[in-house]
Amino acid sequence: MPRFLLFLALLAPTVSLAELDISDAWIKNLPPSVPVRAGYMTLHNAQSKTQRIVAVHSESFASVEIHQTLMQDGMMRMEQVPALQIEPGETVQLAPGGLHLMMMQPAQPTRPGEVHRIEIEFEDGSRQSLQMTVRK
Ligand SMILES: [Cu+2]
The domain spans of the chain are 18-135
Q: 91: helix, coil or strand?
A: strand
Per-residue pLDDT at 5 exceeds 80: no
Say how many C-beta atoms besides its own lie within 10 A of residue 18's C-beta.
15
Tens-digit pLDDT profile for residues 19-36 = 899 999 999 999 999 999
Stated as kind and residue range, the H or E segment containing 103 is strand 100-106
| Cα 8 from Cα 126, distance rounded (Å) | 24
Rounded CA separation 64/39 (Å): 9
Ligand 1 center–CA 79 separation, angstroms? 7
The CA 124 to ligand 1 mean position distance, Å, reads 25
Ligand 1 centroid to 77 CA: how many Å? 8
pLDDT exceeds 70 at position 2: no
Residues in contact with 46: Cβ distance below 8 Å, sequence separation at least 6, in sequence order: 20, 21, 89
- Read off the pLDDT of each residue in 71-79 and give the average, rounded to a whole number: 91
pLDDT at 1 over 70: no
With beta carbons less than 8 A apart as the criterion, state whether 52 and 85 touch: yes
CA of 126 to the centre of ligand 1 (A): 24
Residue pLDDT, tens place only, 92-133: 999 999 999 999 999 999 999 999 999 999 999 999 999 999
Q: What's the CATH superfamily of 18-135?
A: PCu(A)C copper chaperone (2.60.40.1890)
DSSP SS3 for 68 = strand
SS3 5: helix
